[in-house]
Amino acid sequence: MPANDLPSLQQRILKLLAIHQELREENQRMRAEEVNWQSERARLVQQNEAARRKVHEMIQKLQVLERNCGQ
């Protein structure tokens, strides 16, 4: 390997190391965001289920009222 190639190779290695570090940091951020999104999704699923139960209960109460008023 010619001596003048060594600095070029060193620069390329340093650039690759910098890119590697950036990608590691981005990956960590994305994993943290994924945890947050999963938590938010679970919360929304619970809210949706609670709302569904309430609507179902209201429908049942209305049906009971309707039957009682029809007698």
Grouped pLDDT means (10 residues each) for the chain, 71 residues: 82 98 98 98 98 98 89 64
Q: What is the pLDDT of residue 2?
A: 67
pTM over 0.85: no
Compute the half-sphere exposure of residue 41: CA atoms within 13 Å on the CB side of its CA.
Answer: 6
Q: What is the pLDDT of residue 4?
A: 76
Residues near 9 by Cβ (< 8 Å), separated by ≥ 6? 1
